Amino acid sequence: ETGVTQTPRHLVMGMTNKKSLKCEQHLGHNAMYWYKQSAKKPLELMFVYNFKEQTENNSVPSRFSPECPNSSHLFLHLHTLQPEDSALYLCASSQRSVATNEKLFFGSGTQLSVL
Amino acid sequence: AQTVTQSQPEMSVQEAETVTLSCTYDTSESDYYLFWYKQPPSRQMILVIRQEAYKQQNATENRFSVNFQKAAKSFSLKISDSQLGDAAMYFCAYRSARFGAGGTSYGKLTFGQGTILTVHP
């Protein structure tokens, strides 16, 4: 049982569709993240939320719209995507602390295919 | 900006043998953290080991150990007594120890391209 749950596991959508990815963490963490993993490319940080507030947007196109209603839930709303947006989208959470032992816990990702 | 490079797209090892995965990074910072993550077919990224740059001693976690060469900006992972369950994609990652207002560097990992490790029985 992972502490970070992502749904759906797979998603196929057309370029005109609107869909949402969901992430839920059961670890009591106060920070959540979206990462994008494309084939043959390093993972890229997309968004960071700290105590429900977005603290980082890594120049992500507006067709990706994150939402963090509380510290346990994170969404990624998708609309008018492009085929090059096909990738594995990973959610992660952590407990932000001034201590040095902060660790990221990842979900299993949503494999997105844009047709 | 920091960069992380894994020059080995694929590696293979016989079960019970030892394998070393390479990672180099580029940074102008003196204080940072380095990580190795494992991504099995389940796709979940799992932290294998971490190293604080201010520590000279190499980190170890059971069969996993690192060779951290700060001057050379090298951070290799050694897996001893390889097991079939070690087969996965391995990612090297970097995180700055600095943080700005709101702690914005926390969790901001810079990843390498990954190395696929195959373990042969």
Shortest Cα distance from B83 to chain A (angstroms)? 22
Neighboring chain A residues of B34 at a CB cutoff of 8 Å: none
State the Cα–Cα distance between residues A100 and A98, nearest whole angstrom. Answer: 6
Hey, which bits of B22-63 come out as E strands?
A: 24-26, 32-39, 46-52, 60-61
Q: Which residues contact A62 (CB under 8 A, 6 or more apart)?
A: none
Of the partner residues B33, B44, B111, the one whose CB lies closest to the CB of residue A43: B111
Stretch A59-64: mean pLDDT, rounded?
Answer: 92
CB < 8 Å to A25, chain B? none
Question: What average pLDDT does the segment A32-54 reach?
Answer: 89
- pLDDT tens column, B83-116: 999 999 999 999 887 765 555 556 688 999 999 9
**What is the C-alpha to C-alpha distance for residues A112 and A17, in angstroms, rounded to an integer?**
13
Exposed / middle / buried, residue B7 (Cβ in 10 Å: 0-12, 13-18, 19+):
exposed
Q: Which residue has the tokens 């990580």?
A: B35
CB contact under 8 A, B111 and A56: no
Give pLDDT, residue A101.
60
Question: Does residue B32 register a pLDDT over 70?
Answer: yes
pLDDT band at A42 (very low <50, low <70, confident <90, very high): confident
pLDDT at A28 over 60: yes
Peptide bond into A8 cis (omega under 30): yes
pLDDT at position B25 over 90: yes
The mean pLDDT value for A20-37 works out to 94
Q: Across all residues in chain B, what is the average pLDDT?
A: 91
Contact A55 B104 (CB under 8 A): yes
